[in-house]
Amino acid sequence: ATNRTFTMIKPDAVADQHIGDILAMIEHGGFRIVELQKVTLTPERAGEFYAVHKERPFYGDLVKYMSSGPIVAAILEKDNAVADFRTLIGATNPANAEEGTIRKKFAKSIEANAVHGSDSDENAQIEGAFFFKS
């Protein structure tokens, strides 16, 4: 599992028709798309996905935002996938994201930040299994 990570293209980026641009940046970054699914999360499912943030002040807004429209979930494969994908997406807050990163290009705010990327091999496994049963 060390060569896989999990990502979501978030509702703002899907609504703005950036699925293709973002998947292109992912593939050009050397990641192979293993699984891919466009789906709309219910507030219950979004809350479950982000349960680790339940006590954070932004949790309620985050759940509302993540269930506001379709997202694209994917499992990606590459050597050093988790760390390399976090480099490709850039900082959570787009104000701090490096040039050339997905968030620098497409994120609108710290909440509507275009993409999610797993922060560890363990979470990549858990998050991937949340969407893909294999």
SS (H, E, C) 43-86: HHHHHHHCHHHCCCCCHHHHHHHHCCCCEEEEEEECCCHHHHHH
Q: Is 92 annotated as a binding residue?
A: yes
Element (H, E) at 99: none
3-state secondary structure of 114: coil
Measured distance between the N- and C-terminal CA atoms of the chain, rounded to whole angstroms: 13
Residue of 18, 28, 53, 116 marked catalytic = 116
CA R_g for the chain = 14
Residues 37-66 that bind ligand CMP (CB under 6 A): 53, 58, 62
**Residue 53 annotated in active site:** no
Judged by CB under 6 A, which stretch of 35-43, 97-105, 107-115, 121-129 contacts ligand CMP?
A: 107-115
The answer to whether the annotation marks 56 as part of a ligand binding site is no
123 touching ligand CMP, by CB under 6 A: no
Residue ranges at the known binding site: 10, 58, 86, 92, 103, 113
The residues carrying an active-site annotation are 116
Residues of the shown chain interacting with ligand CMP in the complex, contacts defined by CB under 6 A:
53, 58, 62, 92, 110-111, 113, 116
